[in-house]
Amino acid sequence: MSGEKPRAALVLKDGTVLHGQGFGANCERIGELVFNTSMTGYQEALTDPSYGGQILMLTYPLIGNYGTNPADKESDNVQPSGFVIREMSPDFEHRQANSSLDSFLKDHGVPGICGIDTRFVVRHIRDRGVMPAILATSATERDLEPKKLLEKLEFDYSSIDFVSKVSVKEPQVFGKGGKKRVALIDYGVKMGIVRELVKRGCVVHVLPSSSTAADVKALEPDGILLSNGPGDPAILTHAHKTIRELGGGAPIFGICLGHQLLAHAFGGDTYKLKFGHRGVNHAVLDTRSKKVVITTQNHGFAVGKMPGGFELTHENVNDKSVEGMADSGRGIFSVQYHPEAAPGPHDSLYLFDEFMKKM
């Protein structure tokens, strides 16, 4: 960073205030403050649409040392409203890198703050739960007055449909010439999911989240994938209806938000976790094989009541929350975590192979 360094303030809904150094864009942004425990993969996290409407904080202390590059993006935009880290590396070194973290956020109009005690903030959220926050960067101190910032902090994460903001507006096709046709309903898909399907010989039709069951069936797909995405699954009633009408047809694979939407579509429900599961080292038990896999996760909600006809297939080792379920009779299965693992361990890539077998 060159020239005058902007100041920054992070103000939480409960009145907690932290001042630090700003980077990225000079602006104010509001979102739900969450934390991720990954040691690498900050670009994948920043471009993950599941972070829509949230301010992302990383627990690993030094971020930015390998810059950013075109290969590691999961979407075309920076998705969180703001970025919070302990220390930002002013220099970067990587054979694929073409931009610094600071420039990357500037280009996408997203503010960042560093030089604060992120360990304190993580402990605070762990104890109090996730909450709305406002992140402001400015060269002028009067723009960072905590009382004025707090007055602007009117935000209810669960009342906003973030999916419609991040989903494609028109259908897109990847992997032309593939032998299996997959209809992927885009609730905020990570491109790693599309890449894994294309790698296995699929032509993937990425459809807007507003698509109806008739739109999906018109493609005559061999399989249907319900993607990850941001927000509270309970308010997405249009998606519940579409998924319910698709049940019993082509095999369905749900990932993250898609898993939660399946629960709502078939009579189950979801609840909000105190501070969510976000990181690349979450242990999950496969209840059928009794084997444990290490998974990549990014979610703030979990399935509560299981839908009728579904069995528990995966369970979180730490808090026993539902991590996977299946209705074999209708060819439906889903997981709460991210098997495409971008970034993260590759223990769960076999789930894409299972989807191929079902098709």
- Which strands sit side by side in the sheet containing 291-303, from one edge to the other? 172-174, 202-207, 180-185, 223-226, 252-255, 332-335, 322-327, 311-316, 270-286, 291-303
DSSP string, 8-61: EEEEETTS-EEEEEEEE-SSEEEEEEEEE--SS-HHHHHT-GGGTTEEEEESSS
Torsion of CA 121, 25, 152, 158, to 10 degrees: -70
Cβ-contact 48, 298 below 8 angstroms: yes
| Amino acid found at 338 | H
Two tokens, residue 64: 């930015």
Residues 6+ apart with CB under 8 A from 223: 180, 181, 182, 183, 202, 250, 251, 252, 253, 355, 358, 359
Buried-state track 191-223, b at ≥16 Cβ within 10 A, e below 16: bbbbbbbbebebbbbbbbbebebebbeebebbb
What sign for the dihedral angle of Cα 274, 275, 278, 279? negative
Output Rg (C-alpha) for the chain, integer angstroms.
20
List residues with catalytic annotation.
256, 338, 340
The rounded distance, in Å, linking the Cα atoms of 163 and 240 is 13
Rounded to 5°, the CA angle 250-253-257 comes to 130
The rounded distance, in Å, linking the Cα atoms of 37 and 56 is 11
**What one-character DSSP code corresponds to residue 68?**
B
| Amino acid found at 292 | V
Two tokens, residue 23: 């980077």
Residue 295 bridge partners (DSSP): 282
Cβ-contact 56, 83 below 8 angstroms: yes
